[in-house]
Amino acid sequence: MSNDITLVLGATGNTVRRVTARLRLRDTPVRAASRSSRTPFDWSHPAGWDQVLRDVTTAYVVPPPVPGPVHDFVARAEAAGVRRLVLLSGHGADDWGDSAFGLDMRSAEDAVRGSALEWTILRASDFAQNFDGHPFRTPPAAGEPALPAGAVPEPFIDLEDVADVAAAVLSEPGQHAGRVCELTGPRGLTWAEAVELISRASGLPIVYRRVCPAEYTATLVQEGWGQSEAQHLAEMFVLLERGTAAWTSDDVATVLGLRAADLRGLRPAGHGSGSPAVLSPAGLGLACRAPGSGAPHAIPHIHITC
């Protein structure tokens, strides 16, 4: 068995599934762990962490929704002989003030920076693929995404870009040590503009509705979320509304040598896909509900092109 394993946490999640696939294509020995994966890992059960950390040299740390125990995990990783940590965090985390959401993310960053290990922090803006499901499709009833976000633009990033950067950084020891990479799309769009683009590309009449944070929290709780998790997510929107994370960065291009994909390039399949202009070959596979219909309509093969 290899004693040079890359551990990726959040194995079944949207970001990490993509990272794992890329690492395996590079023949990197990967251990993918989460509560429901073949290698079990639970942030709330530290007794199992040492087993998961055995023979690991590099760890991709994707914090839990409320990232409390990252300090403890980092200490265990050091004791287990891990040499490098790559942390997934949020875009512009320096400016998140003293909100619980900001403090939690900063605490996870502090844990990694304060360790004796080589570290890199990847700070991603909101994923374009969030529109494909949890958490942003959960509350929107039929064809009407309802979020507490107004006129402040968000530089949505394609998850394929986040995964490409993470796989590159995880595979290149020493090259990204001590760096904080701000991963954004190339331009900001308001949430209403993003929904309009998705509606146009899909041909479905999806209309954005702005709600207040309290209504959003209440809807999430109705959908089965815990109160504190719902408040945590609503708080993220309150922070975004301050506009301090609306700026864009070239860090995707710096790491990959390729421009980040642009949500403005959403095209239905057959309209530009496969052309040299396609930056990200992966379809968003967006799904949404048409007004008046309970059933979700899958919209396959929407591509982001430049």
Ligand X SMILES: NC(=O)c1ccc[n+]([C@@H]2O[C@H](COP(=O)([O-])OP(=O)(O)OC[C@H]3O[C@@H](n4cnc5c(N)ncnc54)[C@H](OP(=O)(O)O)[C@@H]3O)[C@@H](O)[C@H]2O)c1
Look at residues 260, 271, 279, 264 and name the one whose alpha carbon lies nearest to residue 301.
271
Extended strands (E) in the chain: 5-9, 30-34, 39-40, 56-61, 84-90, 118-124, 146-147, 179-183, 209-210, 266-267, 278-283, 287-289, 296-298, 303-305
> Does 53 sit near ligand X (CB under 6 A)?
no
> Does 257 sit near ligand X (CB under 6 A)?
no
> Does 64 sit near ligand X (CB under 6 A)?
yes
> Does 68 sit near ligand X (CB under 6 A)?
no
x/- binding map, residues 82-121, to ligand X, per CB under 6 A?
------x-x-------------------------------
> Does 126 sit near ligand X (CB under 6 A)?
yes
Q: Check the CA dihedral 186-191-193-194 and report its sign.
A: positive
> Does 77 sit near ligand X (CB under 6 A)?
no
Interface residue with ligand X among 27, 36, 47, 174 (CB under 6 A) is 36
Interface residue with ligand X among 1, 25, 44, 116 (CB under 6 A) is 44
Cβ-closest position to ligand X: 13
Query: In whole angstroms, how close is the CB of 144 to ligand X at the nearest point?
Result: 20
> Does 13 sit near ligand X (CB under 6 A)?
yes
> Does 127 sit near ligand X (CB under 6 A)?
yes
Rg for the chain (alpha carbons), in Å?
19
Q: How many residues does the chain have?
A: 306
- Nearer CB in complex with ligand X: 138/273: 138
Query: In whole angstroms, how close is the CB of 14 to ligand X at the nearest point?
Result: 4
Q: Distance of CA 1 to CAs 4, 29, 54, 209, Å? A: 9, 9, 11, 53
Q: Distance of CA 241 to CAs 126, 190, 235, 262, Å? A: 13, 10, 10, 21
Query: In whole angstroms, how close is the CB of 272 to ligand X at the nearest point?
Result: 25
- Nearer CB in complex with ligand X: 62/197: 62
Q: How many CB atoms lie within 10 A of CB 133?
A: 15
Dist CA 131 CA 137 (whole Å): 6
- Nearer CB in complex with ligand X: 16/82: 16
What residue ranges bind ligand X (CB under 6 A)? Answer: 10-16, 34-37, 41-44, 62-64, 88, 90, 124, 126-127, 130
